[in-house]
Amino acid sequence: MFGLPVNAMPSKSFSILPLVFAIAAGALVPGSVSFAAPHNAAKAAAHKKPAADAAASAPVAGETAVAGGSPALPAKAWLLMDFDSGQVLASANADEPLPPASLTKMMTSFLVEQALRSGKLKKDDLVTVSQNAWCRGSSTESCMYLPLNSQAKVIDILRGIIIQSGNDASKAIAEHMAGSEEGFAKLMNAEAQRLGMTHTHFANATGLPDPAHKASARDLAILARAIIRDSADYYPIYAERDFTFHGIKQGNRNALLYTDPTVDGLKTGHTEEAGYCLVTSSKRNGMRLITVILNTNSAQARADETRTLLGWGFSNFEKETPIQPNTAVATAKVNFGKVDTVTAGLGSPWTVTVPRGQKLQTAVQLKPELEAPVTKGAVIGKVVASSNGKPVGEAPLVAQADVERAGLMLRTWQHVTKLFGK
């Protein structure tokens, strides 16, 4: 991740339009270096080490329910997830903890977004840039270029984290929210635990190398799904192609934002240890897929492998509706009610993602010993969809009508008949 030295900071905004046009024409794919100043690109090339290029050169085959298998990708770990259900459609080494580089910042931005949602933070709150957070112009890290001891609005900091992958922005907001980056890492790990990220541990807010700082492909997909689902007001920022702050215009390093109109996020990452990483979301014809590529050997490779995985996923999976809305799915027995039964149905439309051409089976599970009163809309069971004997999704079943509790005499009679098994 590269940027401008502080002493070379321009006073006027510079543009990346020529690069964007080149991308559109297929002339190049933007990577970590593509959007830095020209003299830094040369400097970055001079510092490039062979180890990063050699990472994950052997294709890794994945596991999937699709006949014929999934593509083999030259990444150390990768994953394809259906957004709606959270179902993993294909993966390789999905639970191996690996260095996530700046993919870490998805958790940093998510915590900021949730604090904005809850009111703990306001968009116009000012964040102070400490000596520790300040980016000193190193050519080996990405920066938003927040001046030392300056202040910036939370919403600008958030854009600096997501679009520019600013280490300075990440550290500054960490200190603002938790007093220190170490304290913020505790918040990150608590949130990871809440989300079910079982193979992840954060040591910092940036993703800079640390032996204890790891995340798995599955966990990063879980995090991406949470961002899309729970940060709807701020998720469009992940699709923004550039951001100008302090007179410096920097572009988003996610090449697919420039070449695939169905892609609307999320985050790139790169260090020598982590290789080139990318988490992506794409929505086509009502189906959203999330991909994770970890430890591949170039910015071009992470984009190409993501394209391959998305193309394969959309070609091999489809949305199915196991049960139509407003359909009576089952009849549940009700004890001690004015009526003995209540109809169970879907509370909302339900779709699942399955391999194309596979048939679905459904099985109903109702709550035993259901007692009145029952309120219309109350969950009284669930229906599970399976394909080839494997569960692929489930939906709650709700009562389609109110059931009032019976009077004392009727309840007494029902107790007696139940006691004698009648």
Residues with catalytic roles: 102, 105, 165
Which DSSP category does 370 fall into? -
Q: Are 299 and 41 in contact (CB under 8 A)?
A: no
Partnered with residue 354 across adjacent β-strands are: 318
Among candidate residues 208, 311, 310, the one with its CA nearest the CA of residue 269: 208
Query: At a CB cut-off of 8 Å and minimum separation 6, what does 250 contact?
Result: 3, 16, 35, 163, 164, 242, 243, 244
Query: At a CB cut-off of 8 Å and minimum separation 6, what does 240 contact?
Result: 159, 162, 163, 252
Exposure on the CB side of residue 242, measured as CA atoms within 13 A: 18
C-alpha span between 161 and 155 (Å, rounded): 10
Partnered with residue 421 across adjacent β-strands are: none
Partnered with residue 127 across adjacent β-strands are: 152
Helix (H, G, I), strand (E, B) or coil at 288: strand
Q: Radius of gyration of the chain from Cα atoms?
A: 26
Assigned token pair, 370: 């259901």
Assigned token pair, 367: 């709550």
Please name the residue ranges forming H helices in 55-210: 105-118, 154-162, 167-178, 181-195
C-alpha span between 243 and 165 (Å, rounded): 11
Handedness of CA 103, 109, 111, 117 (dihedral sign): negative
